[in-house]
Amino acid sequence: MFEPSMLLPDNKLERLRGTWAWTFREQALPLIVPERFADFYCADNGRPSKAVETVGAVLILKDLWDLTDEETVYRVDFDLGWHTALALAPETAHVCQKTLHNFRTNRMATCRDARLFAETTGRILEALGTRLGRQREDSTHIVSNMRHLSRLQLFCETLRVFLEAVRRLDEAKYGRIPGGLRDRSVTEAEGTGTYGDARSSPVRRRLAVCARDVWRLLDRCRGDTAGGRCRRARRWAALRWR
């Protein structure tokens, strides 16, 4: 009775029912199975957790709208469309950034993403009545499985792959690379830092930092022919990108 959608005049409610928010609420939200995440929480200790389906749905919407955690929390607090999509009343519409972080970290650490994607996709196909037993042969659509990376992500991944190659081929040389450069590149590229959630002006600043790091690594390995290790590292890094 007190959901925001129920407080709208009839004409606005009718328009709301034609938006993505209502479709998400009716079709997507029920597909999230809370029992899949029961092991993320303690059974008999701690405060009551946020509804699992709410946290999962919030992270889905975050990726759909390409938002940072901070922007996502704002949408959950104040966006009527999100309240409708998540089936939340205004007084309960809130999620902590730490909750999003912990849930995302646990999901990645347990490698749950692939299975959840397969299960959810199966439910979507079932809801749409799509059959996979037959496929048209006169119109085949092939979509590349290559990941799309931003310039910042390309820099971070290139640095990570190169440093991984150096560590694999020459542990001593890897140890002589400045710790700040080494830790910054590896940590951020692995997604434990803030690069993955960066936007706008911070991206431009971090691009400059990454470009400087690339130059420092190239300069440090310039002319190094000891065993050809740096050359092999560069070739190995290049092969990883093919």
pLDDT tens figures, 3-29: 666 677 888 888 888 999 998 898 888
Alpha-carbon separation of residue 65 from 84, 95, 197, 216 (angstroms): 16, 17, 13, 36
pLDDT in tens, 87-107: 998 888 999 999 898 888 888
pLDDT of residue 220: 79
Residue 242 has pLDDT above 50, yes or no: no
SS3 161: helix
Q: 214-221 long-range CB contacts below 8 Å, 24 or more apart? A: 214/155, 214/158, 214/159, 216/178, 216/181, 217/159, 217/162, 217/163, 217/177, 217/181, 220/177
pLDDT of residue 41: 74
Spans of all domains in the chain: 4-128, 151-241
Whole-prediction pTM value?
0.56
pLDDT band of 186, cuts 50, 70, 90: low
pLDDT of residue 191: 45
Are 58 and 100 in contact by the 8 Å Cβ rule? The answer is yes
